[in-house]
Structure 1
């Protein structure tokens, strides 16, 4: 009985630790759990779509439910799965790669996670409170404004709350990378994953405000009778498309650039070579970000912007293929003549290069405005963006998790099971989406609930659904690998891959303060530089001294909970004005905790020099 109570207490202590943590490594685990949960949810929604389209004239789900599932699949995968999983890797790795003890604003880091989590929960509550959003993940006006369901309200308010968290995370990484690099870690010595995190954070800083404005206007149109998107009252529905895609296209690069960074770490490590053309890779990354803000209207070629606007955006879209091509050739040339080890992360890298290249080639096809009139709203577009998002981002996330799992948890995912996972997922991915290019060219439209028999679309859709089942099996195998590894609990060394960058220089498990002494960086791939000189570990840049770390805090959780409660109150005040009381309570909780934070003494705590010396001597 007492043992059981002790176990319960220990679980409670762990739970409280994670509810209040401001440590970037634990926040990485929270992002991994949250993003992983929503990834599974988005995958289940994808399976419902593919089962509905397995055969012509299918009645597996209703048309209304299909619209909700399709909307939530896209929204969940982009906002609630891909971004948090990348934030998990950024939190776990970036401070270590630059030789920092934490991010610049640990409290804001925790707040960013909890805002994402509560925004995602609020959005998914719509399933149980009258129906999920049903206007597509892009929520085009006037459909989204005129929809009688509360689902769109949950969409607008949930994404607004979650978006605040993303914006905070982006600003935090920017400040961290600019201000907290170790001595000698110049910009042109930063690892590519840190560079791509930095550039993606710049994109977040400039891309999310237009989405925030658009969502505010949608909320005001739906809940307070404003007329931003109502043409009969002087509004303009096309403004929503501009605001959404000024955010939406940079969002693709917010997701895919960190994936590029992951592969730019994996390929040199397992080719035993320095990344080929490091400087050109950095400048290509910056150029992609710059051009990323000049291409949004290629999503709007059928709107009627006119030939001049269409031509400008077509040229800019084709131009963005150039820096992407530079990266692909640099990865290939890094492997050329290298001592390649075919590990699971390297398999993902080898699978990614041709997959993403196909996505890029179809992107250039869609960039031709005249051709896009034919491709638009067909399954060709569905195939294209899944080759970019799954062939780029999802393969990148799976590769990054496999590669950095020993760094995050001190254990190694099973290599044999990992390789089986890769092949099943990879084959399933190409079966699912390659055939969709041809379905689109044969005239199958996007977003339709069903297709008719005798149109030549039956076999293609059957193959696509079989592929989706294989992808689901691969995802289940990945989760099983995590469970198996965790139960086995077999610890590995702090540098199991013979890494090149600073994150592999710290002990395993990683201490809360990361580095006892800030390391001195003496070149690109700083750990490899020391290995080549026979040191095997980093040279300290400072004497051993006291370390100041921030205290844990429950306030980020409470601030986010307050906005969650306020969001529900704002959504339902349309039905009954008494809900304003709920909204007021939520805002009071949020602003009350903000006030508490402002007056709270934030001294943190010290880890003393004596403790560090004891640890170095192996004293517990």
Structure 2
């Protein structure tokens, strides 16, 4: 079925908006809260929840400053103090910074790219529920007095079962891993949405800078988060089942945890900075009243930072005994990353210098960013020098540097972004009065707290101490920092009050109050759930560098009148456009899911698994895994009209195929991106094996002879044959499950499972005896888990076929997972054989 394009016939704008509102609106009451999947609502939930966690983390910081204001303070004991600084760091890094950027991206990306929603609305909702529930586990543990107390980095061996026998460390490992599910969901969502869900004709060359920044951020999240997830799993397995990954007495090495943690930890600094830089780029162009200079150089700088960020993790480990050649390499990389950062800063300054800046409130916070972040960057270059790092490592100097970078590079830009987009969220103007006062209090408080802390560190004060009775030279400096901290907190409270007044008492604002040129202001405020009544066509100008405020207003009127693509919702389903990733040429129409409770139910089920693990109910946790698989299998859906009376969804909409009839639809892209993160996890596991084999001092001290043996070689051969069968089926089939390939796939899954179980049965030792057996068990568990995933996917596909889902919509996804499972099986079998595991 082919329909004429929207531009060929007139539309009643009021009817279009009413039609769209019927399809896109949330359900009333509590049902709307638990079933909402719209990107705008989910993005706001992320940001509001992150701000609440920021307030809690700020209160914890003030409790720390009270304790450190005097050298012999008895405000809290050492045990509570350890929980305070651990929870402060954990909340700020995992529950505030990353979710805040996720929320900003989810809210803004469809708007700035001329789309109606993200690629996977249900995945966004699942991410928020995992984030909220995972954070709740940490907060409840803190209220119960069993919060994690080993630092936000959880270094081993202090975090193992011997040194932390309670559940404190388990709370961190399980709670943070739960939250990291949210981060992976967001990374997949952001990547595919930027590449495939945007306005027609918006090629990569015309892509807004904010989207470029978020694409780089998502790429780092996909590669950087899996090492932390793997490390958390391995450490939790060691604590729960006594597997010997990090125990040097049994062939492990605690330094492995540091490598896995900082493989995530240093890219995270840039994961936090890049979205803030994207927001800065949009705001600076608006207030300078001219396009940002050096667009191509900024894009190059973004990807240079993405690449270099993964070569800096040893920057945090200079004092552990790294060889001199490696020290020189990582020191040079740490200094080199300042180059792409400087390119962006000079581009922003040059834009302001050559433009006609308006000093509205957001510009004050942008000025605070320049001052604070540049100072933090300079101390970062100092810490990149190995001799200086050796002297300042683990002192208050590093704490000061970290806060200058994070507050300067993220908090000040986020405060500017909140004031800039507040009319977007509320449809109201700011209430004059407190705004400037809040800024000056925050600025003075930040520098009052952390500027003198550099000197405290240079005088030798270590981090994470609660009293210092023998060092009176630190007392005055700590008192100044504490006073500055309370001034900063008062400034944040005043800022929150100012935003609350704007929400409650602000006057209604016009559509584009800042006279910006980006598409997020081409809609009424606050925006409707569907963003645009019709989507931009290729012949409409959407490049923010070429639009003027007047031309943006004209475009907004044109789209509101229904003169673009996909006007209204005549088929009764949520629709947006799928484009070619490079050229922006229209390829298909995405038919998106409507309101559903499946994300909440899935997150609750996953939460039960983590709670069962926390309680030590491991058999219950194993049973819940089956329930999680069943819930995930229920996500497959048949595209159908949302309400009775609408026409059936055709295979072709406006001369374009609908996504259920499109071979490389959004599901195919999402699967490919998710497998990228999966490959990073598997690569991190191989890195762990190689590291232990080369570095761990007791790696070769096996408690028993672990020679290959005929049975073991046979099991490895069977496992490798299964992997080859799966890989062959994926390469030979356009979509899995077609014709005779079903038999090959079934044989491959059985062979991989049987071979992995056979290798495990032939081990001459237990994972509790030696790290070599532990990592062998980890590889085997990974491969068996993927065979179970394949079985679950095929069961879901069979259900989909029964309810009418076309094979073309799911076959390509199955083929990807067959190929990936086959490839990692071959690599895993080779690793087991070569290393004589």
Query: TM over 0.5, yes or no?
Result: yes
Task: Say whether residues 1:36 and 2:51 are aligned partners.
Answer: yes
- Could you tell me whether the CA contact under 8 Å between 1:89 and 1:401 is conserved in 2? no
Among candidates 466, 471, 479, match of residue 462 of structure 1? 479
C-alpha spacing 1:148/1:21, structure 2 compared with 1 (3 Å)? same
Specify the alignment match of 2:444 in structure 1: 427
- Match in the other structure for 2:547: 528
- Cα distance between partner residues in 2 of 1:604 and 1:334: 49
1:597 equivalenced with 2:635 (yes/no): yes
- SS in structure 1 at match of 2:189: helix
Give the Å deviation of 1:471: 1.4
Secondary structure (helix, strand or coil) at the match of 1:528 reads coil
**Residue of structure 2 equivalent to 1:519:** 536
Aligned-partner SS, 1:597: coil
Against the structure 1 CA distance between its residues 95 and 523, is the aligned structure 2 distance closer, same or farther, given a 3 Å change threshold?
closer
Q: How does 1:190-589 map to 2 (within 5 A)?
A: 190-452=207-469, 454-488=471-505, 490-520=507-537, 521-522=540-541, 524-525=543-544, 528-529=547-548, 531=550, 535=554, 537=556, 541-542=564-565, 544=567, 546=569, 548-549=573-574, 550-573=593-616, 579-580=617-618, 582-583=620-621, 586-587=624-625, 589=627
2:65 equivalent to 1:50:
yes
Tell me whether 1:138 sits opposite 2:153 in the alignment.
yes
Q: Deviations over 1:402-454 (max 9, x none)?
A: 11111122123334322221111111111111111111111111111112255
Name the CA shift for 1:174/1:375 in 2 (closer, same or farther; >3 Å): same
- In 2, the alpha carbon distance for the partners of 1:415 and 1:234 equals 64
User: Is 1:102 matched up with 2:103?
Assistant: no
Q: Is the partner of 1:341 in helix, strand or coil?
A: coil
**What CA distance in whole angstroms lies between the structure 2 residues aligned with 1:156 and 1:94?**
31
Preserved contact between residue 501 and residue 527 of structure 1 (Cα < 8 Å): no
2:788 counterpart residue number: none
| Structure 1 CA distance for aligned equivalents of residues 263 and 641 of structure 2 | 40
Maintained 8 Å contact 1:177/1:198: yes
Give, in angstroms, the shift of residue 308 of structure 1. Answer: 0.7
Which SS does the other structure have where 1:127 is aligned?
helix
Q: Distance in 2 between matches of 1:388 and 1:592?
A: 44
1:7-45 deviations in Å (ceiling 9; x for gaps): xxxx99343312211100000121122111111111111
1:91 maps onto 2:114 in alignment: no
Instruction: Report the alpha carbon displacement of residue 192 of structure 1 after superposing the two structures with TM.
Output: 1.9
Separation in 1, partners of 2:32, 2:390: 54
Which is worse superposed, 412-421 or 547-556? 412-421
| Pairwise CA distance, 1:224 | 1.1
The separation in 2 between residues aligned to 1:587 and 1:34, in whole angstroms, is 28
Taking the aligned partners of 2:331 and 2:385, their CA distance within structure 1 comes to 6
Structure 1 residue 597, shift from structure 2 partner:
2.1
> In the superposition, relative to structure 1, how do residues 545 and 483 fare at CA in structure 2: closer, same or farther (>3 Å)?
closer
Q: Distance in 1 between matches of 2:274 and 2:542?
A: 23
1:435 to 1:308, Cα distance in 2 relative to 1, 3 A: same
Match of 2:83 in 1: 68
Aligned partners of 1:532, 1:12: CA distance in 2, in Å?
36
In our comparison, the structure showing a higher alpha carbon Rg is: 2
Q: C-alpha separation between the residues in 2 aligned to 1:33 and 1:558?
A: 22
- What's the secondary structure of 2:303's corresponding residue? helix
Does the CA-based 8 Å contact 2:291-2:545 persist in structure 1? no
Deviates more, 1:514-523 or 1:202-211: 514-523
Offset at residue 513 of structure 1 (A): 1.5
1:120–1:158 CA contact under 8 A, matched in 2: yes
What is the SS of the residue equivalent to 1:66?
A: helix
Measured against aligned partners, the alpha-carbon deviations of 1:96-153 in whole angstroms (never above 9, x if no partner) come to 0011110000011101111111111112222244511111100000001131120110
Q: Which runs of 5+ in 1 are unaligned?
A: 1-10, 574-578, 611-620
Counterpart contact for 1:522–1:529, Cα < 8 Å: no
The 1:86–1:188 alpha-carbon spacing in structure 2 relative to 1, beyond 3 Å, is: same
Match for residue 616 of structure 1? none
Q: Measure, in 2, the Cα distance between the counterparts of 1:158 and 1:244.
A: 16
Say whether the 8 Å CA contact 1:344–1:415 is kept in structure 2. no
Give me the whole-angstrom Cα distance separating, in 2, the residues matched to 1:37 and 1:368.
37
- Select which of 6, 25, 28 maps to 1:13: 28
User: Matched residue of 1:143: which SS?
Assistant: coil
Name the CA shift for 1:389/1:492 in 2 (closer, same or farther; >3 Å).
same
**Aligned counterpart for 1:22 among listed residues 21, 25, 37:** 37
**1:241-265: per-residue Cα shift (whole Å, max 9, x none)?**
0000001111111101111111111
Cα gap change, 1:463 to 1:271, in 2 (>3 Å):
same
Supply the distance in 1 between the matched residues of 2:614 and 2:602 (Cα, whole angstroms): 19
Instruction: Tell me, in whole angstroms, the C-alpha distance in 1 between the residues paired with 2:634 and 2:244.
Output: 38
Following TM superposition, the consecutive aligned residue runs of length 4 or more in structure 1 with deviations greater than 6 angstroms are: 606-610
Q: Deviations over 1:385-404 (max 9, x none)?
A: 10110111111111111111
Deviations 1:449-496 (A, max 9, x none): 112255311111111111111111112112212322222253212211
Find out whether 1:184 has 2:201 as its counterpart.
yes
Aligned partner of 1:112 in structure 2 is 127
Q: For residues 77 and 282 of structure 2, what CA distance do their matches in structure 1 show?
A: 46
CA distance in 2, matches of 1:509, 1:87: 20
Conserved? CA contact 1:25–1:408, under 8 Å: no
- Look up the SS of the partner of 1:605 in the other structure: coil
Task: Measure the CA separation in 1 of the matches of 2:491 and 2:466.
Answer: 26
1:518 Cα offset (Å): 1.1
Partner of 1:617: none
Distance in structure 2 (CA, Å) of the matches to 1:580 and 1:304: 38
Per the alignment, residue 82 of structure 1 pairs with 97
Q: 1:588: how far off?
A: 5.3
Q: In structure 2, the residue corresponding to 1:416 is in which secondary structure? A: coil
Q: What CA distance in whole angstroms lies between the structure 2 residues aligned with 1:501 and 1:526?
A: 9
Contact in 2 for aligned 1:562/1:585 (Cα 8 Å): no
Tell me the distance in 2 between the aligned counterparts of 1:545 and 1:12.
Answer: 19
Uncovered stretches (5+) of structure 2, i.e. residues with no partner? 1-25, 575-592, 648-837
- The whole-number CA distance in structure 1 between the counterparts of 2:205 and 2:557 is 19
Q: Which stretch has the larger CA shift, 125-134 or 62-71?
A: 125-134
Farther off after superposition, 47-56 or 336-345: 336-345
Partners of 1:156 and 1:215 within 8 A in 2: yes
- Secondary structure of 2:473's partner? coil
